[in-house]
Amino acid sequence: MLAALVIETPYASLDQLGPALINWLNSAGVCAMLFLLLGEIFRWLWGKGSLVFHGLAGNLGQLSPEEVWKRRSLWLWLTLIGVGLVLALLGTVLGRGAGQGSTAWASVALLGWRLAALAAILAFAWEFILELLVCRARRIWALARLTMLETIRQKALWSFAVLVLLVLVGSWFIQVEPKDQWRTYVDILYRTLAILMVITATVLACFALPNDIRRQTIHTQITKPVRRLEILLGRMLGLIVLLTVMLFIIGNLGFLYVFREVSPMARAATMRARLYQLGELHFEELDNEGNWQRKRTGTDVGDEFVYRSHIRGGAPQEAVWTFYRLPPFLLDKSWQERNKRLTVEFMFDIYRMTRDYEGGGAGGVAVVLRFVNPRLWDAALEADYRREAQELRYKEDWDEILARKYGFYEVPLHIADLRTYSVDFPTAILERLREGGVLQVRVACRSFGQYLGMGPNDLYLVVGEGSLYWNFLKGLVGIWALTVMVTVLGVCFSTYVNALASMLLCWALLFLGLPQVQKFLGELGPETIHRMDVNPGGGPLEAMYRLARGLPMATPLPDNWGIALMQKIDLGYAYLFRAISGIVPDLYQYDRTLHVAEGFSIPGGELLMSLILLVGYLVPYILAGYYLLNAREIAA
């Protein structure tokens, strides 16, 4: 059996919703304040009147009673921004004056800032929100329907025939081992589908509105009681519905084809949807005083792939997975009675220090897995445990009795490099978790001279088996989210720039959103810009200075005001890069190929969180698209 869930960067989960919302509020608040300020400056420069007096969209010159009301609401938000900023400033200044530990003033500053950020978002989005309230579903759907009909009748979906062809004849050209069929086919299908959907969605989205404007067909819409927001939403909705249907059809065809083709070996190995429970990994080491010391990492063997950390064979060093949270049903007595065993699966990297495996005739590295409830188990009880085990060894359920009593169960085995193993342990050990405690799985290596490498997701509990088809669909949701993203971006960009420029903008953003580029942008942030291990040589100005002076990257710089200023400017660059990384999408959140290909059920919470992040990411673009379309002279 071979299946690996190597996830270097964890996916966002619902636990992170609160911090994510705060981050969003901060970023969106700053952007909104900047846009309000810039808008006011440009309007003043171009003699178009004040934003405050004429509303945001630029066409509210003649004030009707509703618009007067709109303006008053806007004024309210602007006042709140002012109040919030004053509070934030006061909190910061007075907090500094009060010295360290002045949490009350810090809270005031934080509250003021958040109030200002929220009010800025509302001020910027106010016209949009009011417009949204008066939009009519029938009109939006009419425009969506028109978009769908247009796309279908202009034969724009023929590109999908290419994928159908690829799916149908692809296996003729792909040579894979039977055991790898599922993961290879799923990988190819998902990636091809993602590329095709992104290209199709970008082209359709970026050309929809510009074509309408170029052919002047939009004139007959604008001159009807249609709001521009309805046009924007209608276009987006039509494309999203159509592409969703296409994705569903092609995805299902692909599923049927792959399902039919896969060998029995691959079905057993990866064509599954394991419901898994991850634990938190830490390492423990016995110090000279005989105490176990907790560590974040194990021994560094110099491997470039830093995902895994190692423990030394035959040494008092253990890798410990702690399962702080278990699905509630595992603690249910009736479930435990029905299911006497629970499975743990794992896969470790063996870092060999000798030519061959040690550990006896079994041909692998000797490993021992200990399932422990630390509330019940203590190393001092080991002698009692072994004695009792000897006495009960003829009883069929000896391990259950002891697991229940001592909160301990042990499995020694030999393992090979990067191969997935499955071990069952008695659920009796979970019984007393109801009283308190946690489940720990402690792994030790017994083969002298060998190292075992482990990453956070290398060991997990298999708590059930999900539906394979449902999991496949959940995987498609990632591609769907990507499709929605480029559709919305494309339509929004095309409200102002032409179709080709919109397409280039979309693809540039997607490129910046690739995990590798995101990582790079992240490293250019203010926290790491001056860190020697991440950015040797410092920020751009410092790097230029070093180049000009011929200074090596590690040479300390002189301590003077010029260098300090240079580093401050570099810090400014770092904040700019942070802002840039905020406007690009995090595509990693939507790539779920690994889960489906390796046979793991995609956690619903993570999927939901990725969709929430998508909404949070797209809302500012929709706002911008609306204002740009509203401010545009369609017939100019």
Partner 1 sequence: MSTNNQVNGEVLVETRNLTKVYLDFWGRKKKEALRALNLQIYRGEVFGLLGPNGSGKTTTIKLLLGLLFPTEGEALVFGRPGTDVAKNERIGYLPEESYLYRFLNAEETLDFYGRLFNLSPEVRKKRAEELIEKVGLSRDKKRPLREYSKGMRQRIGLAQALINDPELVILDEPTSGLDPIGTRWMKDLILELKAQGKTVIMCSHRLDDVQDVCDRIAILYEGELKELGRVDELLEIADLVELRARGVRLTEELKRDLEEVIRRHGGTVESVQHPTTTLEELFLRIVRESQLHPGRRYLPQVERSPMAAPVSAGSAPVESAARS
- Tokens coding 548: 């000009």
Tell me how crowded residue 521 is: count the other CB atoms within 10 A of its CB: 17
227 binds partner 1 (CB under 8 A): yes
| Pick 44 or 469: Cβ nearer partner 1 | 44
519 binds partner 1 (CB under 8 A): no
Mark the segment that binds partner 1 (CB under 8 A) among 148-156, 373-381, 543-551, 562-570: 148-156
18, 62, 394, 533: residue in contact with partner 1 (rule CB under 8 A): 62
Evaluate the CA torsion angle 218, 222, 224, 230 in order and state its sign: positive
578, amino acid identity: R
| Pick 138 or 393: Cβ nearer partner 1 | 138
User: Smallest gap, in angstroms, from Cβ of residue 138 to partner 1?
Assistant: 5
DSSP-derived 3-state class of residue 467: coil
- CA 3/CA 422 separation, integer angstroms: 11
Dmax over Cα atoms in the chain, in whole Å? Answer: 95
Footprint (CB under 8 A) of partner 1, residues 297-356: none
Contact status, residue 486 vs residue 343, Cβ threshold 8 Å: no
- CA 414/CA 407 separation, integer angstroms: 24
- Tokens coding 178: 């039977």
User: Smallest gap, in angstroms, from Cβ of residue 144 to partner 1?
Assistant: 11
- CA 458/CA 345 separation, integer angstroms: 8
User: Smallest gap, in angstroms, from Cβ of residue 628 to partner 1?
Assistant: 14
Contacts of 270 (CB under 8 A, 6+ apart): 2, 3, 179, 182, 183, 597, 598, 599
User: Smallest gap, in angstroms, from Cβ of residue 484 to partner 1?
Assistant: 24
| Pick 114 or 145: Cβ nearer partner 1 | 145
217 binds partner 1 (CB under 8 A): yes
| Pick 221 or 471: Cβ nearer partner 1 | 221
Find the distance separating the first CA and the last CA of the chain, reported in whole Å. Answer: 65
User: Smallest gap, in angstroms, from Cβ of residue 139 to partner 1?
Assistant: 6
| Pick 181 or 221: Cβ nearer partner 1 | 221
50, 220, 297, 467: residue in contact with partner 1 (rule CB under 8 A): 220
| Pick 151 or 336: Cβ nearer partner 1 | 151
What x-and-dash track marks residues 102-141 binding partner 1 by CB under 8 A? Answer: ----------------------------------x-xx-x
184, 221, 447, 502: residue in contact with partner 1 (rule CB under 8 A): 221
216, 293, 297, 555: residue in contact with partner 1 (rule CB under 8 A): 216
| Pick 251 or 625: Cβ nearer partner 1 | 625
Contact status, residue 193 vs residue 167, Cβ threshold 8 Å: no
Contact status, residue 493 vs residue 502, Cβ threshold 8 Å: yes
| Pick 152 or 576: Cβ nearer partner 1 | 152
| Pick 220 or 555: Cβ nearer partner 1 | 220
Partnered with residue 281 across adjacent β-strands are 321
What x-and-dash track marks residues 42-61 binding partner 1 by CB under 8 A? Answer: ----x-----------xx-x
- Tokens coding 256: 């049927």
225 binds partner 1 (CB under 8 A): yes
| Pick 97 or 225: Cβ nearer partner 1 | 225
Match 């997935």 to its residue by tokens.
Answer: 420
* Residue 201: Cβ-neighbour burial (10 angstroms; 0-12, 13-18, 19+): buried
Contact status, residue 547 vs residue 498, Cβ threshold 8 Å: no
Please name the residue ranges forming H helices in 524-603: 540-549, 561-583, 593-598
Tell me how crowded residue 437 is: count the other CB atoms within 10 A of its CB: 17
Beta strand 280-286 with 292-295 is antiparallel
- Tokens coding 626: 């609306």
User: Smallest gap, in angstroms, from Cβ of residue 627 to partner 1?
Assistant: 14
User: Smallest gap, in angstroms, from Cβ of residue 504 to partner 1?
Assistant: 19
142, 166, 331, 611: residue in contact with partner 1 (rule CB under 8 A): 142
User: Smallest gap, in angstroms, from Cβ of residue 202 to partner 1?
Assistant: 22
| Number of alpha helices (DSSP H) and beta strands (DSSP E) in the chain | 21, 13
How many residues lie near partner 1 (CB under 8 A)?
34
179 binds partner 1 (CB under 8 A): no
Which residues of the chain form contacts with partner 1 (CB under 8 A)?
46, 58-59, 61-62, 64, 136, 138-139, 141-143, 145-146, 149-150, 153-154, 215-217, 219-227, 633-636
